[in-house]
Amino acid sequence: MNIDLLDKERGVCPVLLERALRRTFRKKLLVLDLNGILGDVVFSSYGSRMPYKKVSKKLVFKRPFLDDFMAFCFEKFVVGIWSSRNKKNVAGVINYIMCDTKDKLLFSWVCE
């Protein structure tokens, strides 16, 4: 979360805002890498496995038991997603992989 950005938008002292954010988020922050941890986004299929979905001409493989893992993460942590991919490609992958739980994410941090 960019405190400077919030400060300009809300007119709040950055130190007070930081304290308020710490009190609000009693859970620790967990940042997960989209490609590699939550799923694989690749150019070609490996072996006989069929991709779950295609996004921007790339194959998306969702990790087994990801839904159970994410339920645990959301219960224990405040969760954000990071990816080295650009925003255009990440949005479709997040929509598919996270389904109904994407609204629980604190942020998705992508390369521009």
Q: What is the pLDDT of residue 16?
A: 60
| Rounded Cα–Cα distance for residues 77 and 75 (Å) | 6
All structural domains of the chain, each given as residue ranges with its CATH number in brackets, are: 26-111 (3.40.50.1000)
pTM of the model: 0.67
Quickly state the pLDDT bin for 29 (edges 50, 70, 90): confident
Select from 108, 110, 107, 106 the least CA-distant residue to 27.
106
Q: What is the pLDDT of residue 75?
A: 93
Percent of the chain residues past pLDDT 70, beyond the cut: 63
pLDDT of residue 103 exceeding 90, the answer is no
Q: What is the tens place of the pLDDT at every residue in 76-101?
A: 998 988 888 777 778 888 888 888 88
Q: What average pLDDT does this structure show over 32-41?
A: 84
106 vs 46, which has greater pLDDT? 106
Q: Which stretches of the chain are DSSP H helices?
A: 3-10, 14-24, 66-76, 87-98
Tell me how far apart the terminal alpha carbons of the chain are, to the nearest angstrom: 16
51 vs 97, which has greater pLDDT? 97
Q: Any idea what DSSP says for residue 63?
A: P
Q: What is the pLDDT of residue 69?
A: 94
pLDDT of residue 18 exceeding 80, the answer is no
Dihedrals φ, ψ of 46, to 5°? -105, 125
